[in-house]
Amino acid sequence: MTEEAETDMEEKHMKKATFAGGCFWCMQLPLGEVEGVRSAVAGYAGGTTKNPTYEQVSSGRTGHLEAVQVTYDPETVSYETLLDVFWRQIDPTDDAGQFADIGSQYRTAVFFHDDEQERMAEASKKALDDSGKFAKPVATLILPYTTFYPAEEYHQNYATKKPREYGRYKKYSGREAFIRKTWQAKETVILYSTPRCHTCREIKEYLREKNIAFEEIDISADEGARDLLVEKTGYIGSPVIRIGDEFVFGFDREKMEWLLQKGRQQDHGIFLTKHP
């Protein structure tokens, strides 16, 4: 088989997913960094105007939404994972735009390309709505894919081309703080210790050197904490470190670093697929 034929077969294996999450600068980077994503293109989706310009879309009269179209390898990354990344970058309860950007072109939507994507998108939206994470209902639209036009070249990979401008925009638009407030609780670190535990002191020194905030609980004095450890792990002793929903026994530096890195990547919409 020729190299060209192999490339054609590989391309046919790829799938597409299209998401509108407000300003496409802030969606292209996290979606594009997911392992298994071949490309993430900023553009305009869902409207009727052919080959629209940024100025036309910005008028709110084209029916298009700012969007990102992803080409991905379904054997490496699932559509459910892409949906999870999408939800973690937006305020899904805002039906008027996103953060500082108000207007129909900034509404959020999942454009499904087939029946399976529609089913998964609806299920994912319902699960988020039922989770109780948000006080208001999820307003993101689930729509059939119709059209997508790539945006102008100066919009592509804006976060990479102009990182300072992108950073300021993401911060002052309110998106960065919203993501941190909504999702960063997964990085909570708790150290279950005892007063004479030498390893506990080593772990505290390690966490402080890494500038990682943590809460320390003395299980010799806190009966509730002891009961929780037994209930969750079947183990009683120290040290035990809880990172998010996972427990680490002893000073397992490699596992701690992996869990902390995993939490940071999830906050940015990036998912590890396996333990190193």
Sequence-ordered list of residues with C-beta below 8 angstroms from that of 242, at least 6 positions apart, any chain: 188, 189, 190, 192, 248
Is residue 65 classed as helix, strand or coil in its secondary structure?
strand
What separation, in Å, do the N-terminal and C-terminal C-alpha atoms of the chain show? 34
Indicate where the chain has its CATH 3.30.1060.10 domain(s).
3-179
Indicate where the chain has its CATH 3.40.30.10 domain(s).
188-267
What pLDDT does 273 receive?
30
Q: In 94-214, which ranges are E strands?
A: 97-98, 101-102, 108-112, 141-144, 148-150, 189-193
| Contact call for residues 216 and 193 (beta carbons, < 8 A) | yes
Q: What is the C-alpha to C-alpha distance for residues 8 and 211, in angstroms, rounded to an integer?
A: 48
pLDDT in tens, 170-226: 989 999 889 888 876 545 788 999 988 999 999 988 888 777 878 888 888 877 788
For residue 9, pLDDT over 80 is answered with no
| Contact call for residues 175 and 26 (beta carbons, < 8 A) | yes
Q: What is the CATH number of domain 3-179?
A: 3.30.1060.10
Q: Which residue has the higher pLDDT, 10 or 223?
A: 223
pLDDT in tens, 35-53: 899 999 999 999 999 999 9
Q: Which residue has the higher pLDDT, 265 or 73?
A: 73
**Residue holding tokens 């990172």?**
243
| Contact call for residues 14 and 7 (beta carbons, < 8 A) | no
User: Residue 234 CA to chain centroid, in angstroms?
Assistant: 32
Q: Which fold has domain 188-267?
A: Glutaredoxin (3.40.30)
Q: What is the reported pTM?
A: 0.68
pLDDT in tens, 97-117: 999 999 999 999 999 999 999
Task: Compute the average pLDDT of residues 240-249.
Answer: 87
Instruction: Quickly state the pLDDT bin for 8 (edges 50, 70, 90).
Output: low
Q: What is the C-alpha to C-alpha distance for residues 198 and 214, in angstroms, rounded to an integer?
A: 17
Closest CA to 139 of 182, 98, 167, 188: 98
Q: Is 23 a residue of the active site?
A: yes
Catalytic residue among 23, 26, 197, 200: 23
